Amino acid sequence: MNSSDDAFLRKVREIQEARDKAIRPLAAVLVERERLRTLLAETDGPYGAAYADAEAAGWRTEELAALGAEQPLRRPKVRLRRAGSNRARIPAPVNADEAAQDAEAAAGR
C-alpha cells in the first residue's frame, strides 16, 4: 500500500468512528423506549378493567375524560351469555347406533 491508500483508509476509519459514536446514544434511547413500551403494555389490561369498573359504577365517559382518563385501547374480555344458556344440555350419543336410536325417539317412532 502506498501513502495515499493509508490516508484514504485512515479517513474512512475516522468517518466510521464518528458514525459509531453518534449512534450509541440513539441505541441507548431505543432500548429505553422499548422497555417503557413493554411496561405500558403491561398496564393495558388492568387499566381497561379499572376503566370498565368505573363505568359500571356510574362514571360516564365524558366525566372520566375530564379527569384525564382516556378510554382504554382494549376493553377487558367479557364472556357474553347467550339466550337460553341455562337450559339443560343433552349429552351427545357415544356411537352411531345410539345416534340413530335417539333420532328415531325424537321423531316419535
Read off the pLDDT of residues 14-40 as tens digits, 9 standing for 90 and up.
Answer: 999 999 999 999 999 999 999 999 999
What stretch of H or E contains 80?
Answer: none
The backbone region for 95, taken as left when phi is positive above 0, alpha when psi lies in -120 to 50, beta otherwise, is: beta
> What was the pLDDT predicted at 85?
55
Q: In whole angstroms, what is the distance from residue 40 CA to residue 50 CA?
A: 15
- The SS3 of residue 99 is helix
Q: Which three cell numbers stand for residue 14?
A: 475516522
pLDDT in tens, 69-90: 999 986 556 666 666 555 555 5
What's the pLDDT band for 66 if we cut at 50, 70, 90? very high
CA 66 to chain centre: 26
Q: What is the pTM of this model?
A: 0.48
